[in-house]
């Protein structure tokens, strides 16, 4: 079974005359256990997509199913949200309680777990996200990166199979971003969690198993990072750009250096460049 499936989904905000159609006849499947990066310019419908997955929004047409359960069925929503956790963009707008531990407990309390189990869940969530040290701290005193890690802890305390990051790193500094992405990668690699990372950072997309580009309400391209970043016209057309190292590699190639294809990270660029220049 697919983790997530969008079938011919259309969605528009506003009145019935379809003031602004965000998604048009949109189809998509996401495999369980994969790390998917969702790219697209502001307003391309990425966040809408995320909110359709856990039923915060319901499609006007078509269906969204999570592990076979349709989000259009109200009775499914509780179960769907148990299985698809979400972390939002603004670190300040997600915590319900003032104290970290109480906040992480919010989800498990909502699904009616008993105290012992909640405590286990909190212990686990804080450990995985490296926030044990803040257990009794006030949320307001944490840095942005720490708050987002607490938000992830809050989401995974429900032990979901899917974690959706809706531009969760966009308001963080590089250190905070690294911290958060490290946690997310661990969850994906070691716990087998399906991750959907909505982001503006091309460097995050490079590390994904699969990259999706959204534009004009449809999926413009879908494939491995290598495949996607080889499609330069689509990248430009959708208001995106190549990862920095890829851009430099392109320019170097144009200047006559035979570096070969598929350079997306600074490590691979450095490797090829050193190899080439060492020979001469």
Partner 1 sequence: MRIVAENLNFTYNKKSKFAVDALKDVSLTIEEGSFFGIIGHTGSGKSTFIQHLNGLIPVENGRLTVGDIDLSGKQKEVKKRYKELRAKVGMVFQYPEYQLFAETVFEDVAFGYRNFFPDAQPDEVKTAVFGALSLLGLGAEYLDKSPLDLSGGQKRRVAIAGVLVSNPEVLVLDEPVAGLDPAGKNELMALLHKLHDSKRVKTIVIVSHDMDEVCENCTDVAVFSEGQIVFKGKPEEVFKNVEQMNDLRLGVPVTSFLTDELKKIGVDIDTDFTQKDFIEKIASHYKNNK
Partner 2 sequence: MLSDVTFGQYYPSNSFVHKLDPRTKILLLIAYIVMIFVAQNFFGLALSLLFLAVAVIFSGVPFTSILKSIKGIIFLVVFTALLNILFYAPKEGDTHLFWIIYLEGLFSAGFLALRLVSLVMGSSLLTLTTTPVSLTDGIESLLSPLKLIKFPVHDLALIMSIALRSIPTLANETERIINAQKARGADFDSGNIISRAKALIPVLIPLLISAFRRGDELGDAMDARCYSGSKVRTKYKKLTFGVRDLVAFLIVCALIAGVILFNIYGAQLWALIASLWS
Q: Does 177 bind partner 2 (CB under 8 A)?
A: no
Q: Are 50 and 166 in contact (CB under 8 A)?
A: yes
Token couple for 25: 């006849």
User: Which of residues 156 and 208 has its CB atom nearest to partner 1 in the complex?
Assistant: 208
Among positions 88-147, residues that touch partner 2 (CB under 8 A) are 88, 90, 92-99, 102, 105-115, 118-119, 122, 138-141
Query: How is residue 270 annotated by DSSP?
Result: H
Half-sphere exposure of 262 (CA within 13 A, CB side): 4
CA-to-CA separations, 257 to 213, 234, 250, 274, in angstroms, rounded: 30, 25, 9, 12
Residue 280 interaction partner, one of partner 1, partner 2, none, beta carbon < 5-8 Å per kind: partner 1
CA distance 62 to 53: 13
Residue 88 interaction partner, one of partner 1, partner 2, none, beta carbon < 5-8 Å per kind: partner 2
Q: Does 256 bind partner 1 (CB under 8 A)?
A: yes
CA-to-CA separations, 270 to 120, 202, 204, 267, in angstroms, rounded: 44, 18, 19, 5
CA distance 179 to 205: 16
Count of CB atoms within 10 A of residue 62's CB? 17
Q: Does 82 bind partner 1 (CB under 8 A)?
A: no
Among positions 108-147, residues that touch partner 1 (CB under 8 A) are 143-144
User: Which of residues 92 and 267 has its CB atom nearest to partner 2 in the complex?
Assistant: 92
Residue 257 interaction partner, one of partner 1, partner 2, none, beta carbon < 5-8 Å per kind: partner 1
CA distance 52 to 45: 10
Q: Does 269 bind partner 1 (CB under 8 A)?
A: yes
CA distance 21 to 280: 56
User: Which of residues 169 and 188 has its CB atom nearest to partner 1 in the complex?
Assistant: 169
Residue 94 interaction partner, one of partner 1, partner 2, none, beta carbon < 5-8 Å per kind: partner 2
Which residues form the interface with partner 2 (CB under 8 A)?
51, 54, 56, 78, 81-82, 85-86, 88, 90, 92-99, 102, 105-115, 118-119, 122, 138-141, 154-155, 158
Which residues form the interface with partner 1 (CB under 8 A)?
40-43, 143-144, 167, 170-171, 173-176, 178, 200, 202, 239-241, 244-245, 247-248, 251-252, 255-257, 266, 269-270, 273-274, 276-278, 280
């Amino acid at each position: 079974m697919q983790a997530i499936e969008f079938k011919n989904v259309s969605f528009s905000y506003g009145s019935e005359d379809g003031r602004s159609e965000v998604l048009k006849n949109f189809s998509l499947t996401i495999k369980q256990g994969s790390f998917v990066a969702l790219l697209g310019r502001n307003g391309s419908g990425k966040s809408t997509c995320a909110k359709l997955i856990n039923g915060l929004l319901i499609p006007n047409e078509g269906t969204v199913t999570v592990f076979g359960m349709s989000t259009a069925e109200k009775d499914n929503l509780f179960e769907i949200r148990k299985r698809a956790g979400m972390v939002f963009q603004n670190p300040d707008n997600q915590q319900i309680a003032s104290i970290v531990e109480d906040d992480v407990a919010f989800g498990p309390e909502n699904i009616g777990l008993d105290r012992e189990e909640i405590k286990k869940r909190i212990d686990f969530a804080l450990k995985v996200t490296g926030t044990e040290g803040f257990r009794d701290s006030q949320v307001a005193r944490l840095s942005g990166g720490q708050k987002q890690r607490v938000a992830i802890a809050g989401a995974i305390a429900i032990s979901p199979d899917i974690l959706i990051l809706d531009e969760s790193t966009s308001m963080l500094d590089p250190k905070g971003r690294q911290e958060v992405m490290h946690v997310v990668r661990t969850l994906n690699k070691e716990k087998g969690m399906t991750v959907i990372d909505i982001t503006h950072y091309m460097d995050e997309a490079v590390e994904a198993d699969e990259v999706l580009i959204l534009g004009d309400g449809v999926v413009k391209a879908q494939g491995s990072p290598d495949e996607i970043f080889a499609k330069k016209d689509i990248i430009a057309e959708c208001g995106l750009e190549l990862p920095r190292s890829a851009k430099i590699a392109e320019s170097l190639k144009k200047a006559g250096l035979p570096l070969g294809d598929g350079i997306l990270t600074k490590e691979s660029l450095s490797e090829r460049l050193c190899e080439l220049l060492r020979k001469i």
